[in-house]
Amino acid sequence: MSPRKRSVTMTDVAAYAGVSMKTVSNVINGWPYVTDETRQKVLDAISAVGYRPNRMARSLVTGETRTIGVVVPDVSNLFFGAVIRGCEDRLYEHGYSIFLCNTSEDVERERYYLDQLLSRGVDGLILWGTRICCSELEEIVGHTLPLITVELGEEPTGSNHTCINVDDQGGAFAATTHLLAEGYRRIAHLAGPMDRVTSERRLLGYTQALAAAGVTPPGDWIISDRPSVQGGFHAAQRLIEEAQPDAIFCYNDLMALGVLLAARHLGLQVPEDLAVAGFDDIETASMVEPPLTTVRIPQYKLGRLTGEVLLARLQGDEPVEKSILVPVDLQIRGSSSRRLLTEEQRQTTLERLVASFSAEARQSLLSDHPVADTPAQEE
């Protein structure tokens, strides 16, 4: 057996560069009081001898691991691919790497990963769609470690905690209002799991838009299922058979893709027989036929925002907001538009719809989610 190769140490770097170990340590840790010439000499020596700093040893000195824990509910969902990339890119720009954990929608698995991440000394946490209540979460994490939650559903209380929410209610309101403007009246809703705050908010936006138009959805218009293509496919078949809708607004794009498959399976034409709208605007949404109308969440930008807010909390230079609301916008495509309208025609149609709402509904609902801001048909 060949002898184990000896690890390269700071002593080797110092000997190669002709400087003290203290100087090597100062360069590695970014101390400013080193001349440019000496700094370059040490960096050249590090490269020449192949030295890699021991991050664990360094963390004992600095109190930092330069790692961030990121926890998501379903890593196979295309939505999370985009947001994780945005988050990782932003953190990488500042020298941080991430530990990515997938909970598979299991709250006990989420608690396990939190314990593991905290035991590894991560410098901060970003949690997407956590199912742990705010008080328990803040008790687990403590009140010093920077904590970012996305779609928590509760106001954070800890001084180290920021919650970022998407305007789920406003997006659902806009999508349902668009379907009404297109002339659809039997508008059903495929909801996500009802223990999710995002499901509750999108359902609320949907029912508010119908109420503003004087439509009360019967119970069989709303079905909850898994937020996946398979969930959407099976739920849509049941929904179409029982409720006979002329349009379906879906909790997310994956479910909406399942509805498109179900419509084809049942011989229905989209959007002539059945209109379909989703939520998220994943990459696939614009590639299917017909292209999917959906509420766009700026996924990559949202991911970068989580990293940005966490970095701001780590740096602690300026106050950080405890709650942030991310706006969304409606992307109107072929799955919901019976006819192609110009912006002027669509605006006129929407204004007529708003005029048909009761004065009380316009004041209480449309002031928060103005239909006039609905974007035009994508080319």
| Residue-wise pLDDT tens digits, 69-108 | 999 999 988 899 999 999 999 999 998 999 999 999 899 9
Q: How confident is the model at residue 350 (pLDDT cuts 50, 70, 90)?
A: low
Is 243 in a helix, a strand, or coil? helix
Q: How confident is the model at residue 310 (pLDDT cuts 50, 70, 90)?
A: very high
Encode pLDDT of 109-160 as tens digits: 999 999 999 988 899 999 999 989 999 999 999 889 999 999 987 888 888 9
Of 9-23, 279-293, 303-317, 354-368, the one with minimum mean pLDDT is: 354-368
Q: Which residue has the tokens 């970095």?
A: 311
Encode pLDDT of 19-74 as tens digits: 998 898 888 777 778 898 998 999 999 888 888 766 555 554 555 688 999 999 99
pLDDT computed for residue 195 by the predictor: 86
What domains appear along the chain, each with residue ranges and CATH number? 10-53 (1.10.260.40), 67-167+300-326 (3.40.50.2300), 168-296+328-373 (3.40.50.2300)
| Among 164, 184, 180, residue whose Cα is nearest residue 172 | 180
Encode pLDDT of 240-265 as tens digits: 999 999 999 999 999 999 999 999 99
Q: How confident is the model at residue 315 (pLDDT cuts 50, 70, 90)?
A: confident
Question: Is residue 182's pLDDT more than 90?
Answer: yes
| Among 320, 325, 306, residue whose Cα is nearest residue 89 | 306
pLDDT computed for residue 294 by the predictor: 97
pLDDT computed for residue 109 by the predictor: 95
What percent of the chain has pLDDT above 90? 64
Question: Is residue 378's pLDDT more than 70?
Answer: no
Question: Is residue 284's pLDDT more than 80?
Answer: yes
60 CB-near residues (< 8 Å, 6+ apart) = none
Q: Residue 116: CA atoms inside 13 Å, Cβ hemisphere, count?
A: 14
153-157, 269-273, 344-348, range with greatest mean pLDDT: 269-273
Q: How confident is the model at residue 369 (pLDDT cuts 50, 70, 90)?
A: very low
Q: Are 84 and 100 in contact (CB under 8 A)?
A: yes
Q: Which residue has the tokens 């027989």?
A: 273
Question: Is residue 353's pLDDT more than 90?
Answer: no
Q: At what angle do helices 343-356 and 168-181 cross, to 10 degrees?
A: 100
What percent of the chain has pLDDT above 70? 84
Give the span between the Cα atoms of 276 and 226, in whole angstroms.
17
Give the span between the Cα atoms of 110 and 129, in whole angstroms.
11
Strand 67-72 versus strand 97-102 pairing type: parallel
Q: To the nearest whole number, what is the mean pLDDT of the chain? A: 86
In this structure, which amino acid lies at residue 144?
T
Question: Is residue 186's pLDDT more than 50?
Answer: yes
